[in-house]
Amino acid sequence: MYEPDATHCHTPADDMTHEAQICEQLARDPAGPHPNLCRYLGYVPTPDGQRLLGLCFERHGPSLSRAVQREYNVAFNTAAVLAGVRSGLTRLHAFGYVHNDVNPADARAVLVDFDSCRRIGASLVGKKAGTMGWDHGGDAARPENDWIGLEKVRDWLEDPDHVPPLP
């Protein structure tokens, strides 16, 4: 819940602005887009151009959390999906960022949802930094945070009833 007087409070607008800033920087990568990082296409401004209405990304299939649900019946190669996410994380880390929110809702064969992404070494205190039950519990953005998340995703793919509950 948003509490304007809270010391460590961030609003949804803050989160979207932060995610847009991260994605704008990733889009300027001289190496070009990485196949395992969701491609950012831009943003939709309010009519007055003063705020963001939304962010635009390349479409991908269902998240891992949806893909394993019976109604989707999506067949995929678990090892290939994990390798793709690992490749995306490696590229993100090389660019100086930690995703901080690797979980089945934020992974396909590509990483999505960059609102928890921070520069390596940045403080996570008072920032959006993960999904309850899937977070790493750290107070700084470190590549290890993402590897912990990837291991949790791997464990979950091996046993979808594995806790923690999905976001």
Over residues 1-53, the pLDDT tens digits come to 334 455 556 788 889 999 999 999 999 988 888 999 999 999 999 999 999 99
CB 62 within 8 A of CB 72: yes
Is the whole model's pTM more than 0.75, yes or no? no
Q: What domains are there in the chain, each with its CATH number?
A: 12-158 (1.10.510.10)
What sign does the CA torsion over 11, 109, 36, 137 have?
positive
d(CA 37, CA 12): 22
The whole-number average pLDDT for the span 135-162 is 83
Which residues, 6 or more positions from 6, have their beta carbon under 8 angstroms from its beta carbon?
Answer: none
Given this model, what pLDDT does residue 2 score? 39
Per-position b or e across 88-124, b if 16+ CB within 10 A of its CB = bbebbbebebbbbbbbbebbbbbbbbbbbbbeeebeb
pLDDT value of position 163: 56
